Amino acid sequence: MILYNVTVNVDAEARDEWLTWMKETHVPDVMATGLFMEAKIARIMAEEAGGNAYSIQYFAKDMDDYEKYEREFASKLRRDHQDKFGGKCAAFRTLLHIVHQENGPS
């Protein structure tokens, strides 16, 4: 499994609008590509980030699905984000290969 993580630091004055847009528009658009199995948005709990940093996590079945996303969809979706929130956000991306997963008791 592949974890595609996007870490975003959002200006305080744009945070609420950004978070709503991510939940209602951007993440659903990414999921509509059919190339990710699950998505999560988490607020990063760090004082230095001022409470305005988020991790958006997309889980792909394999590298083929992630690479297809990059080839066919990523540019447009990133451009949509840039057009809407331009200088109000700073983002960086990390790609991780999940080598082990264990779930707690149900």
Q: Which domain holds residue 21?
A: 2-97
Give pLDDT, residue 14: 93
Predicted confidence (pLDDT) per residue in 14-52, tens digit? 999 999 999 999 999 999 999 999 999 999 987 665 668
Which CATH number goes with the domain that contains 63? 3.30.70.100
Does residue 104 form part of some domain?
Answer: no
Q: How many domains, in total, are found in the chain?
A: 1
Does residue 79 form part of some domain?
Answer: yes
Does residue 102 form part of some domain?
Answer: no
Does residue 23 form part of some domain?
Answer: yes
Does residue 37 form part of some domain?
Answer: yes
Predicted confidence (pLDDT) per residue in 43-56, tens digit? 998 766 566 899 99
Q: Residue 51, SS3?
A: coil
- The answer to whether the CB of 5 falls within 8 A of the CB of 98 is no
The model carries a pTM of 0.90
Does residue 62 form part of some domain?
Answer: yes
Q: Shortest CA distance to 1 belongs to which of 49, 61, 45, 43?
A: 61
